[in-house]
A and B are shown apart, each in its own frame.
Chain A
Amino acid sequence: MTQNSHYTKHHPKWHRVRIPIFWWVHKWVHLKFILRELTSVAVAFYAVVLLFQVRALAQGPEAYANFLAWLKMPVAVFVHAIAFLFVIFHSVTWFNLSPKALVVRIGKRRIPDAVIAASNYVAWVIFSAAMAWIILN
């Protein structure tokens, strides 16, 4: 037992309930939380696909054409669609929670929560538009 942790000492007569492994299925709020945490898998998936894309790009036009053909396969499209939905959920929940972490006071007044969240969305739109312009042009 490290110095930092303090476990409530065992007492034979105290009643303790063990949390079941599927504690999160009983309430909608908890289910949403677990789904939100699982979106990290979709984000990791996107990152891995990007790495493969860069590698294909480095290997030359034939390798890149093979990569694009893989992306067009129905299975790949389906998996990407699911991942996309998860990533949207990831971004929306993250932006909506950002005012909790960023409390900024200017002089006497505090920047309202809605402004903090909205500025995340605005930045998202601007960056997406810029990326779309770069990729499509």
Chain B
Amino acid sequence: MPTNITLEIFRYRPEDELEPVFQSYEVPFRKDWVILDALNYIKDNLDGSLSYRWSCRMGVCGSCGMMVNGTPVLTCATFLEKYLPGPIRVEPLKNFPVVRDLVIEMSDFMHKLKRVKPWIIREEEKPLSEGEYLQTPTALADYKQYSMCINCMLCYAACPIYGLEPTFTGPAAIALAQRYNFDNRDQGKKQRMEALSQDGGIWECTLVGECSVVCPKDVDPAGAIQRYKVASTTEWWKSLLMPWGSSEERRA
């Protein structure tokens, strides 16, 4: 078991120079250390200027996503041991502009998430006197997988289409739209339809499938997108062949 391991870290200090560089750091190797532990060691002991995001350190907040040896991972959930003997290349999440070092700018994702309206939409709010919405375990199972998204954006880093096409809404936003489309308390499918099936929506997706491979929460955004393709196409045919409206629209 080696005592040390080297990390090659992407440094971008725009106040000094506009070209990024790679800086090597040697950190102690511990079997139970993850990449985030190594980054914290560097910041505490070697180079306090290193900038990066992290929070929960247990894989639920989605803050610490970075490219490690070319693959987007949660650095709090990726062990140093996996990359022995090293060196380990750590870069900021791909397909996003880099603000500094390992910190990326994610306002694009935030705008796209808002556009898909990720909240329960009701035609009419149920009055409090009627009590809470009751949902069976089966109904919950319909959307539960898509609710597990932690907005870590590893899927955006893995998606070549998001890198090539700036208007693409992206895997996580569409998966979250589906989380509400499949929730039987929600009545907002039509309101999400424009964002999903028009410019920059599901039809930009060509099912590369890498989003689902890198997702740390098994959300399967690729599946969510393909299911909406089927649903959207079916809805279009229905609107063409039955323009007087489907039974789904009449459901209260």
Contacts and interface: CB of A to CB of B under 8 A. Distances in A.
Interface in A90-111: 97, 100-103, 105, 108
Interface residues of A, number: 27
B166 A8 contact: yes
A72 interface: no
Contacts of A5: 166-167, 199-200
Nearest to A23: B160
B199 A4 contact: yes
A4 B198 contact: yes
A7 B108 CA distance: 7
A9 to B, nearest CB: 8
Looking at B70, B213, B226, the one whose CB has the most chain A CB atoms below 10 A away is: B226
Interface residues on B, range: 35 or more
B142 A105 contact: yes
A6 B230 contact: no
Task: Identify whether the interface residues of A are mostly helix, strand, loop, or mixed.
Answer: loop
A70 interface: no
A5 B14 CA distance: 28
Interface string A23-38: 1100101100100010
Contacts of A24: 160
Contacts of A103: 223, 227
Nearest to B210: A29
Nearest to B195: A4
A101 B97 contact: no
B247 interface: no
Given A30-B208, A100-B207, A23 B226 contact: no
B166 A101 contact: no
A33 B207 CA distance: 9
A126 B196 CA distance: 37
B162 to A, nearest CB: 10
B22 to A, nearest CB: 13
A7 B97 contact: no
Interface in A104-127: 105, 108
Interface string B83-127: 000000000001001110000010110011001000000000000
A15 B105 CA distance: 10
Contact of B14 (A15, A16, A23): A15
Interface of A: 2, 4-8, 11, 13-17, 19, 23-24, 27, 29-30, 33, 37, 97, 100-103, 105, 108
Given A4-B194, A14-B105, A33-B208, 16 more contacts: A2-B199, A4-B199, A5-B167, A8-B108, A13-B99, A14-B98, A19-B163, A27-B70, A29-B213, A30-B160, A100-B220, A100-B223, A101-B229, A102-B230, A103-B223, A105-B142
Top 10 A-B residue pairs of the complex, sorted by shortest distance between their CB atoms: A14-B97, A101-B226, A15-B98, A13-B14, A5-B167, A4-B199, A100-B223, A8-B108, A100-B226, A6-B111
5 contacts: A8-B166, A13-B18, A16-B98, A19-B160, A97-B209
Interface of B: 12, 14, 18, 20, 70, 94, 97-99, 105, 107-108, 111-112, 115, 138, 142, 160, 163-164, 166-167, 194-195, 198-200, 206-210, 213, 220, 222-223, 226-227, 229-230
